[in-house]
Amino acid sequence: MPQDDSSLRADISRRQFLRWGAGIAAGSLLGGVPVTSAHSGDREQSSTTPKARVIRRVQTSARKVCLTYDDLWSEFYSLKIGREYRKRGIALTLFPIGYAVQNNLRRPHAGYENLYPRLRDMGHEFGCHLHTHRDITGFSVQQLIDEELEPALQVMRQALGPGYRPVGIRPPYGIVTDELRELSNRYEMPLILWGLDSRDAICARACADQCEGEDRTIPEVYSHLYGPETPETLCSNANCAAHCVDAIMSNYETYLRTGTIALNHMIRSSFEAIPRLHSLLRAWNLQPILLSELLSYGSA
Ligand SMILES: [Zn+2]
């Protein structure tokens, strides 16, 4: 059947996207996707596609950026990273999975009670990373509302107060569908992707393959109760983390610029990268601010 160029491109793009989504979903619950795949899936939209705001970077000459951290499965690293930035006077935008918030509400580890209000009191803010971290391809708008957005919003309000409104929605794996755009419009919450992927989780996963027999699991720092799927355990080997810090920094050095929204996860290598990342930000005179603030600095 003949197709015009744009629908053919859209079709190819969608197929690529399904493949990436499926591969990543099977491989990891913690990883992001390469920047290019997030971009290509979104660029091709038909005239009937709902016009949601999809934000990857803020176009600005102001020397401002935003550091975002996703998932928050690990209470240990979420608190550790949140505190480390607080000490350095830097505020983060955090995208927890609803299940991670729920786990912390119902059964926090000793010392990690009220994790979310504590992170907020340090000056950090929250977006919504949906509830279960599934690949949402094929989900209807109603399914997205019932199974993903409303449950996540509900636990966020329980943790942070009934008036809490997340800064935006970050879809797992960066997968944007027409149904998600519709949801974004209905709830008046922008879709927040990223222009820089530190690839911290991707590196940790690859490195974990090399540490057979070593400490691959760190159960004491993860939530007791998982969602429908258990998050992958990542290698906590020190050599692995050191190697991944180099990889993270190389991504920042290549892609960091004004208005960048950077994707990271709450894992060991990202914690260990903080001193070098902070030095780089200072050397380049780029100030990390909350996403809600960055959005006021120009067009997204
Ligand atoms: Zn995620």
Domain count, the chain: 1
Span from the CA of 232 to the centroid of ligand 1 (angstroms): 12
Span from the CA of 51 to the centroid of ligand 1 (angstroms): 24
- Helix (H/G/I), strand (E/B), else coil: 192: strand
Span from the CA of 107 to the centroid of ligand 1 (angstroms): 21
Span from the CA of 172 to the centroid of ligand 1 (angstroms): 5
Ion ligand 1, residues whose Cβ is below 5 A away: 70-71, 172
- Cβ neighbours, 10 Å, residue 191: 22
The residues near 67 (Cβ < 8 Å, ≥ 6 apart) are 85, 90, 92, 93, 262, 264, 277, 288
Span from the CA of 125 to the centroid of ligand 1 (angstroms): 16
Span from the CA of 48 to the centroid of ligand 1 (angstroms): 28
d(Cα 75, Cα 81) in Å, to the nearest integer?
10
Structure tokens at 134: 């599934």
Span from the CA of 44 to the centroid of ligand 1 (angstroms): 23
Q: Which amino acid is at 122?
A: M
**How many alpha carbons lie under 13 Å from residue 249 in its C-beta half-sphere?**
18
Q: Which amino acid is at 142?
A: Q
Span from the CA of 31 to the centroid of ligand 1 (angstroms): 6
Q: What are phi and psi of 70, to 5 degrees?
A: -105, 165
Span from the CA of 126 to the centroid of ligand 1 (angstroms): 14
Q: Which amino acid is at 36?
A: T
Structural domain harbouring 31: 5-297
Span from the CA of 213 to the centroid of ligand 1 (angstroms): 27
Would you state the pLDDT for residue 33? 30
CATH number at residue 64: 3.20.20.370
- Helix (H/G/I), strand (E/B), else coil: 265: strand
The verdict on pTM exceeding 0.85 is: no
Would you state the pLDDT for residue 236? 59
The residues near 91 (Cβ < 8 Å, ≥ 6 apart) are 85, 122, 123, 124, 125, 288, 289, 290
Span from the CA of 258 to the centroid of ligand 1 (angstroms): 24
Would you state the pLDDT for residue 76? 85
- Mean pLDDT by runs of 10 across the 300 residues of the chain is 33 31 30 31 51 92 97 89 98 95 88 95 98 94 97 98 97 97 97 97 76 47 46 61 91 98 92 97 98 88
